[in-house]
Chains A and B, each alone.
Chain A
Amino acid sequence: MKSIGAYFIFLGSMFVRRESFSSYFKLTINECISIGWNSILIVAITSTFMGAVTTVQTAYNLVSPLIQNYVVAQVTREMVVLELAPTITAIVIAGKVGSSIASGLGTMRITEQIDALEVMGVNASSYLVLPKIIAAMIMYPLLVVIAGFLALYGGYIAGTMTGILTETEYVYGIRIDFNPFTIQFALIKSVVFAFLIASISAYQGFFTTGGALEVGKSSTSAVTKSCIAVLLADYILAELLLN
């Protein structure tokens, strides 16, 4: 409970004694590149295979002659858009970006770079963390859109190349009974997940004490806690928005 309280105090501290807008703008752009652009490759690879595997496994389970082939694509779409693209990508991003944020801030803490900022009168939590959270909340939804698109494309390649279903059946399955709210739901989830990953990782890194070993521990802890928070938020959002 003490940690949760400290986490909320930490979040609150970012909004007092802020620096000029221009200094945040440049930092946020840099973080957008670091968090978003530099994650495209890993997101592309994981999501393409995720879609391909989903299609193959769905086809494996739907063996009844009463079920038409396009249903495989329909199930793939629902799984990818509702769950796999936002949530599995969040787990991947927690591993890549979360650990990077925690270890970066942890190193700054133990090498007194954060103290140096404080001595200069800079609100270090606001200056270092706020741009990361804003950048994550901007870039992660874009990554989820890319992940969703590539996962469906991966499903298409796997489905058509292995003869599970034809191109026409796949495209028909993707389009039939499409509920646009699922996209909104995925984007809402992505913004919440981005906030959780960036803020929890930053919190873990910002309050690192000790040396290099503790930086590693902070990084591990950031990934573990971010993943738990993402899964918990995933359930809460599903209850709130889908029921």
Chain B
Amino acid sequence: MIEINNISKSFDGTQILDDISGKFERGITNLIIGASGTGKSVLLKCIVGLITPEEGEVLYDGRSFLKADKEEKAQMRREIGMLFQGGALFDSKNIEENVMFPLDLLTDMKKDEKLDRVNNVLSRVGLENINKKMPAEISGGQKKRVGIARAIVNDINYLFCDEPNSGLDPRTSLLIDELIQEITHELNVTTIMVTHDMNSVMGVGEYIMYLARGKKVWEGNSDNILTSGQEDLEDFIFASKFMKKLRKTL
């Protein structure tokens, strides 16, 4: 479980996150949602330690990330896997080398063992026979899958996904969302996913935190989000004509 307490962050005097707290349980897909510019990605970066918040704390199963010393932080980072918006695959390495990279750096495994592991995770995300291809030679959806494979290749406890379906068609988005949810259940990891895609929200939102203007405005799940009664959230959900029509039927 990841717990965040009173996280605040500002850039150049502009408050981006304002006193945000919440709990993200293990084994379910936790979503942070909100309109563009509400601080979702900043909050995720605060949680993974890429940005240091001005106030508040982040607890990984009770262990404070911000107060941890370098060794403890390094250990906690070994338990983290992250999927970035564009996949963030290393351009100079092929797919196999990309996925093997965390194993090369963080484990003492033999080459054969690492290769087995890489093939296993690639097969788990539905990719086979692309080991020697370069990132530039594969599609956007495949890049996301390779990103997921790289994130889970090391025994992780925490999986973070920053807008995993941005730039993908609706069908591929759905497949990526389902894959993340399956992996979350299968590996029993704490997954936090940042998104503003309503298909993702309705499809895999087992816990949802809604942010608006840097504040946590609502929390719940996909079963009660459509009937939250929260004005800000309803404006966000029912922004399109299609969703407005749907609202009338509810």
User: Which chain A residue shows the least CB distance to B160?
Assistant: A119
Tell me the chain A residues, 68-121 only, with Cβ under 8 Å from chain B: 107-108, 111-113, 115-116, 118-121
Establish whether residues A112 and B84, one from each chain, have CB atoms under 8 Å apart when the complex forms.
yes
Interfacial chain B residues near A118, Cβ < 8 Å: 49-50
Choose one: A16, A17, A116, A121; the contact of B84 (CB below 8 Å): A116
Interfacial chain B residues near A17, Cβ < 8 Å: 70, 74
Choose one: A107, A113, A120; the contact of B105 (CB below 8 Å): A120
**Most chain B CB inside 10 Å of its own CB: which residue of A19, A115, A119:** A119
Choose one: B50, B70, B86; the contact of A119 (CB below 8 Å): B50
Choose one: A19, A108, A121; the contact of B73 (CB below 8 Å): A121
Establish whether residues A113 and B48, one from each chain, have CB atoms under 8 Å apart when the complex forms.
no
From known contacts A115-B84, A121-B78, infer whether A19 and B105 are also in contact, taking CB-CB under 8 Å: yes
Interfacial chain A residues near B106, Cβ < 8 Å: 120-121
Tell me the chain B residues, 77-124 only, with Cβ under 8 Å from chain A: 77-78, 80, 82, 84-86, 88-91, 101-102, 104-106
Give Cα A112 to B164, complex, Å: 13
Give Cα A70 to B89, complex, Å: 59
Interfacial chain A residues near B78, Cβ < 8 Å: 120-121
Give Cα A80 to B70, complex, Å: 49
Size category of the A interface is 10 to 19
Q: Is A233 interfacial (CB 8 A cutoff)?
A: no
Size category of the B interface is 20 to 34
Establish whether residues B82 and A119, one from each chain, have CB atoms under 8 Å apart when the complex forms.
yes
Establish whether residues B74 and A116, one from each chain, have CB atoms under 8 Å apart when the complex forms.
no
Cβ distance B75 to chain A, nearest Cβ, rounded Å: 8
Give Cα A6 to B23, complex, Å: 36
Interfacial chain A residues near B91, Cβ < 8 Å: 107-108, 111, 113
Give Cα A122 to B85, complex, Å: 20
Give Cα A180 to B155, complex, Å: 59
Interfacial chain B residues near A13, Cβ < 8 Å: none
From known contacts A119-B50, A122-B105, infer whether A112 and B86 are also in contact, taking CB-CB under 8 Å: yes
Known: A19-B105, A119-B80. 5 other contacts (CB 8 A): A111-B88, A113-B89, A120-B101, A120-B105, A121-B78
In the complex, 27 of the A-B residue pairs with CB atoms within 8 angstroms, ordered by the A residue number, are A16-B70, A17-B70, A19-B105, A108-B90, A111-B91, A112-B84, A112-B85, A112-B86, A112-B88, A113-B88, A113-B90, A115-B45, A115-B84, A115-B88, A116-B82, A116-B84, A116-B90, A118-B50, A119-B49, A119-B50, A119-B80, A119-B160, A120-B78, A120-B80, A121-B73, A121-B105, A121-B106
